[in-house]
Structure 1
Amino acid sequence: MSDENTYDVIVLGAGPVGENVADRARAAGLSTVIVESELVGGECSYWACEPSKALLRPALLYAEAARFPGVADAVTGPLDARAVLKHRDRMVADWNDQGQVDWLESADIALIRGHGRLDGVRRVTVETPDGGTRRLHARHAVAVCTGTRAALPPLPGLDTVRPWTSREATSATEVPRRLAILGAGVVAVEMATAWRALGAEVVLIAREPRLLARVEPFAAELVADRLREAGVELRFGSGILSAERAGGPDDGLHLSLHDGSRIVVDELLLATGREPRTDDIGLETIGLTPGDWLATDDSFTVTAVEGEWLYAVGDVNRRALLTHQGKYQARIAGTVIADRAAGRDIDSTPWGKHTGTADLVAVPQVVFTDPEIAAVGLTTEDATRAGRVVDVVDYDIARVAGALQHDPAYRGRARVLIDPDRQVILGATFAGPGVAELLHSATIAITGEIPLNRLWHAVPSFPTISEVWLRLLETYRDRTAEPR
């Protein structure tokens, strides 16, 4: 094997996670190559986070403006769908990754275009677009950062109806007249919000009895209410039995539902979960099963492989399927790789142990709907399942002066879960316009295990929505001051 094909670190996947692993390794002086079969920047940059928020932001601004005195009368007509789609295209650089490639070059990270597969211990084979093959060897580590793809349900007729996945939903060039969405999770509700605002007739079909099963029920109910007010039809406890395109392209897509009804739409979005992109990356060459999630320890080393050379970082390890959590993992994994390469003890460093805990204890997430949902840590259902005793504190955010400045017709609610013995916050959920910016303060409170008697001295500015923190603490104080 020639020297030019040997690197200290090989990274499979050039999404945000792979980029961060490569960046940390290269910054530590390790020669690093990243292998990518699609666009450098990955799912988040071109088909998920960036384009979905580019579609949602105009929708949320429009909804808020239409409710605000002095502004509502100036809001005439629907959103300019063509302008919104053009804005989305700018945000994804028209699906051109040259800017990301330039960054890799500036960081001295090598890039190989093509499909990479493991080929034994610390070895990777890449099939390049020109039909060639490149064989790579890693002196120290291979990091699998291949992420996930949409998981499609076993639906009769699926192979002929050309359904949307999250990729088509965020990259479509025209607004469908009629859109059906199967699913009740984040992708389903965000895309229902966006495409309804852009003018599509939307019906959301959910097997579940409610939206967003992993968030507090009160937050999901607020989103459901707003979707209905916007004209989205919600069908809970249902599903699709079959789908077929009858006649010509203008005849639409015919869906048969579990309740015996039939509907006709132009497009069907399947938002039914994710699966790991590990089915064709050579796992069988190292004794693993293709298509499996890759379990890791807290240094993101794959536990089923000996030798501490294989890492699985980001969505592919199933610890927390969120871009910011994957980047957090990548920073740790890249540092672990560098320290092990230098013979340093990863359990004893000036920064403490190089291990990931935030994807187990305090995972922040925002659902960019109307209203927004921002949550971190435990929900009440999580606490019940875990047998944790918690005090639940709720507050109506509309009673905070800053909320009324934000929206005179504000509807929202805040909840924190408090450990009654340790007097620290274990979970927080905020639902309402503008609550996303409350989330990091909650994340810090939970991650830092800040005692309530110290949070009292974190004074919120007036008039801002963040004053809800003071009201939650006051509510808890008043309750616990009374005999139980």
Structure 2
Amino acid sequence: MNDAPRTYDVIVIGAGPVGENLADRTRAAGLSTVVVESELVGGECSYWACMPSKALLRPALALADARRLPGIQRAVRGPLDTPAVLARRDDFTSHWKDDGQVGWLQSVDVDLVRGHGRLDGPRQVAVTTPEGGTVRLTARHAVAVCTGTTAALPPMPGIDDVHPWTSRDATSAKQAPRRLAVVGGGVVAVEMATAWQALGSQVTLLVRGSGLLDRVEPFAGEMVTEALREAGVDVRFGANVASVERDGAHGEVRIGLEGGARVSADEVLFAIGRAPHTGDIGLETVGLKPGGWLRVDDTCQVTGVEGGWLYAAGDVNHRALLTHQGKYQGRMAGAAIGARAKGEPVDDAPWGAHVATADHSAVPQVVFTDPEVAAVGLSAAEAEQAGRRTKVVDYDLAQVAGASLYGDDYRGRARMVVDLDRNVLLGVTFVGPGVGELLHSATVAVAGEVPVDRLWHAVPAYPTVSEVWLRLLETYRG
């Protein structure tokens, strides 16, 4: 059964955090808006990524913090209560029910159509509903693709028969496997290795390259590697997976490495990257190649589409595969759509009201390992590659008075990269327990292009770890 065609000012395909933020902004601009979702409203972040992964990680990090403190160590000698941690994780995901998120859409007067949405020509979207019907939608002003990404798997013979874990399985598993092999060296790989090791699994981390977290300062990956090994994770570099097979439907997984080595596990997680979720959303009907990343300008308007009605925000445009950056893009895109719909000027200058400028120079990220890694802006290598004249300043975080409050064995490091020509920060990296809470101050400094001389007047409270800012500036001055 097909519903009567419906017309809105804006159609949003994908009701994850990005689509929700974009819809919120277009609705606030007075534009009628509908979102189309084939799974749960709230998307990957709420049910299979950010929220459940951090629910799994927080007990592990809290336990590590406690074990560093004299007077508490004897009280926390036992292992984590894995069933209790998993139960709390389930609460964080609302037990994979989206009633609350649907209620929020209703509260901001955004309509919801459940089903698989596909573009069907300019400003047209056809939605196949769960019941098998079709809902046809027309947009007066814009269609926004906010479909995100899916976990990438290697094109390896027989991999489907192995039923490997992806990030979704790793964050929603109902019990800890006795042995878990993790393939990859990025954020998902190290976070899930941290979580499941703490929850009782024997974890082997198979990394193709020579280090972890290759998109941040090298010392960050080195410190995380050291900590993972101390926790009991078997970290192997130069480990190229050549084959994978499972003994029966639920038996042992055997992983063959180049060179002949083999690893056995009960489950194997492939955390080797993400692929755009654009293979079946009708891109070919508007002259675009299906299955690829969508190229956009700084207002998230898709390039190469006549009429400028198509937008893409979040992971799907490959600018910054992070929930907070996607939400930021959604806000910027929603504001730009609203301005264009009303015939108002679009403020597309750098740091303007309608552009996602921060995607280029001020992207923050926290890796929730022990120690935590927090970084924003350019690394020293990236700044050098960009031709910037810089000074790199490092400081031992353990020497900051506030670090001693975390325990006697605090290990951490801070780095800031200074643009000598403009006297502003290009990037900042912190590694150490609790450093995620330092990151926003660094993000403000980088995004705001605060002169280093002005930062001297931002006085950090004593005794907090934030006093590292003073120490970095003192080191910079020499």
User: How many Å apart are 1:241 and its aligned residue?
Assistant: 1.1
User: How many Å apart are 1:352 and its aligned residue?
Assistant: 4.0
Q: Distance in 2 between matches of 1:412 and 1:258?
A: 35
Q: Secondary structure, in 3 states, of the residue corresponding to 2:279?
A: coil
- 1:279-358 alignment runs, 5 A limit: 279-347=279-347, 352-358=352-358
Number of the residue aligned with 2:33: 32
Kindly provide the amino acid, as one letter, of the partner of residue 270 in structure 1.
Answer: F
Number of the residue aligned with 1:388: 388
Q: Distance in 1 between matches of 2:414 and 2:348?
A: 39
Q: Distance in 2 between matches of 1:48 and 1:352?
A: 31
Number of the residue aligned with 1:243: 244
The structure-2 alpha-carbon separation of the partners of 1:257 and 1:3, relative to structure 1 and needing over 3 Å to count, comes to closer
Q: Secondary structure, in 3 states, of the residue corresponding to 1:103?
A: helix
Kindly provide the amino acid, as one letter, of the partner of residue 56 in structure 2.
Answer: L
User: How many Å apart are 1:248 and its aligned residue?
Assistant: 6.3
Number of the residue aligned with 1:482: none
The structure-2 alpha-carbon separation of the partners of 1:410 and 1:335, relative to structure 1 and needing over 3 Å to count, comes to same
Number of the residue aligned with 1:415: 415
- Contact 2:414–2:430 (CA<8 Å) still a contact in 1? yes
User: How many Å apart are 1:381 and its aligned residue?
Assistant: 1.5
Number of the residue aligned with 1:372: 372
User: How many Å apart are 1:420 and its aligned residue?
Assistant: 1.4
Number of the residue aligned with 2:362: 362
Q: Distance in 1 between matches of 2:449 and 2:176?
A: 46
- Select between 177-186 and 235-244 the one with higher mean Cα deviation: 235-244
User: How many Å apart are 1:385 and its aligned residue?
Assistant: 1.9
- Contact 2:70–2:407 (CA<8 Å) still a contact in 1? no
> Identity rate of aligned residues, in percent?
66
Number of the residue aligned with 2:475: 475
Q: Distance in 1 between matches of 2:93 and 2:3?
A: 37
- 1:242-281 alignment runs, 5 A limit: 242-247=243-248, 249=250, 251-281=251-281
User: How many Å apart are 1:347 and its aligned residue?
Assistant: 2.8
Q: Secondary structure, in 3 states, of the residue corresponding to 1:141?
A: strand
- Contact 1:176–1:267 (CA<8 Å) still a contact in 2? yes
Q: Distance in 2 between matches of 1:63 and 1:342?
A: 54
- Select between 280-289 and 377-386 the one with higher mean Cα deviation: 377-386
How far does the alpha carbon of each residue in 1:6-49 deviate from its partner, in whole angstroms, 9 at most, with x for none?
00000000000000111111111111100000000000000000
Q: Distance in 2 between matches of 1:317 and 1:229?
A: 38
Q: Distance in 2 between matches of 1:277 and 1:418?
A: 38
The structure-2 alpha-carbon separation of the partners of 1:312 and 1:247, relative to structure 1 and needing over 3 Å to count, comes to closer
Number of the residue aligned with 2:97: 96
- Contact 1:150–1:166 (CA<8 Å) still a contact in 2? yes
- Select between 380-389 and 82-91 the one with higher mean Cα deviation: 380-389
- 1:44-443 alignment runs, 5 A limit: 44-247=45-248, 249=250, 251-347=251-347, 352-443=352-443
Kindly provide the amino acid, as one letter, of the partner of residue 8 in structure 1.
Answer: D
Q: Distance in 1 between matches of 2:177 and 2:186?
A: 21
Q: Distance in 2 between matches of 1:344 and 1:258?
A: 59
Q: Distance in 2 between matches of 1:43 and 1:415?
A: 32
The runs of 5 or more residues in structure 2 that have no matched partner are none
User: How many Å apart are 1:176 and its aligned residue?
Assistant: 0.2
Q: Distance in 1 between matches of 2:280 and 2:249?
A: 36
1:455 aligns with 2:455: yes
User: How many Å apart are 1:189 and its aligned residue?
Assistant: 0.1
Number of the residue aligned with 2:465: 465
Q: Secondary structure, in 3 states, of the residue corresponding to 1:269?
A: strand
Q: Secondary structure, in 3 states, of the residue corresponding to 1:140?
A: strand
Q: Distance in 2 between matches of 1:75 and 1:400?
A: 26
Q: Secondary structure, in 3 states, of the residue corresponding to 2:408?
A: coil
User: How many Å apart are 1:304 and its aligned residue?
Assistant: 1.4
- The TM-score with structure 2 as length reference comes to 0.98
Q: Distance in 1 between matches of 2:207 and 2:219?
A: 18
Runs of 4+ aligned structure 1 residues displaced above 3 Å come to: 1-4
- 1:6-25 alignment runs, 5 A limit: 6-25=7-26
Q: Secondary structure, in 3 states, of the residue corresponding to 1:154?
A: coil
Aligned length: 476
Q: Secondary structure, in 3 states, of the residue corresponding to 1:462?
A: coil
- Contact 1:373–1:435 (CA<8 Å) still a contact in 2? yes
Q: Secondary structure, in 3 states, of the residue corresponding to 2:338?
A: helix
The structure-2 alpha-carbon separation of the partners of 1:240 and 1:405, relative to structure 1 and needing over 3 Å to count, comes to same
Q: Secondary structure, in 3 states, of the residue corresponding to 1:255?
A: strand
Q: Distance in 2 between matches of 1:120 and 1:170?
A: 37
Q: Distance in 2 between matches of 1:2 and 1:130?
A: 12
The structure-2 alpha-carbon separation of the partners of 1:353 and 1:75, relative to structure 1 and needing over 3 Å to count, comes to closer
The runs of 5 or more residues in structure 1 that have no matched partner are 479-484
- Contact 1:156–1:241 (CA<8 Å) still a contact in 2? no
How far does the alpha carbon of each residue in 1:223-248 deviate from its partner, in whole angstroms, 9 at most, with x for none?
00000000000110112111111246
Q: Distance in 2 between matches of 1:248 and 1:190?
A: 27
